[in-house]
Amino acid sequence: DAGITQSPRYKITETGRQVTLMCHQTWSHSYMFWYRQDLGHGLRLIYYSAAADITDKGEVPDGYVVSRSKTENFPLTLESATRSQTSVYFCASSDRPHNSPLHFGNGTRLTVT
């Protein structure tokens, strides 16, 4: 199906473990984003990417790593998970740099115990 998909939908992991959240889009959008959503903070930008091999930090990048070797994939890795990284993570994509909406995946609910 066309669109943007995230996997897994739910993940429970332990403190200190490495976790990778996957994001795949079929539109060939150039721009991709990772947000986290927390009560009281709304949605905050973690990392974004303008094209394959071009990524940059957002508001809250510490503890996360991204890569974008192919246009359609934008995985987010938590190098050593902490309890403060318990959150809902959204991946989004856009076809233009501005004045076009971001299209969001369904989110990944991550719990770090």
The yes or no reply on residue 48 touching another protein (CB under 8 A) is: yes
Smaller CB separation from another protein, 16 or 56:
56
The yes or no reply on residue 104 touching another protein (CB under 8 A) is: yes
Across 60-95, b (16+ Cβ under 10 Å) vs e yields bbeebebbbeebbebbbebeebeeebbbebbbbbbe
Least gap, CB of 73 to another protein (angstroms): 18
The yes or no reply on residue 58 touching another protein (CB under 8 A) is: yes
Q: Which residue has the tokens 């897994």?
A: 8
Out of 45, 52, 63, 65, point to the residue binding another protein (CB under 8 A).
45
Contact criterion met (CB below 8 Å) for 76 and 34: yes
The DSSP-derived string for 44-84 is EEEEEEEETTEEEE-S--TTEEE--SSTTB--EEESS--GG
Smaller CB separation from another protein, 14 or 62:
62
The yes or no reply on residue 31 touching another protein (CB under 8 A) is: yes
Interacting residue ranges for another protein, rule: CB under 8 A: 31, 33, 40-43, 45, 48, 50, 56, 58, 88, 90, 92, 94, 96-104, 106-107, 109
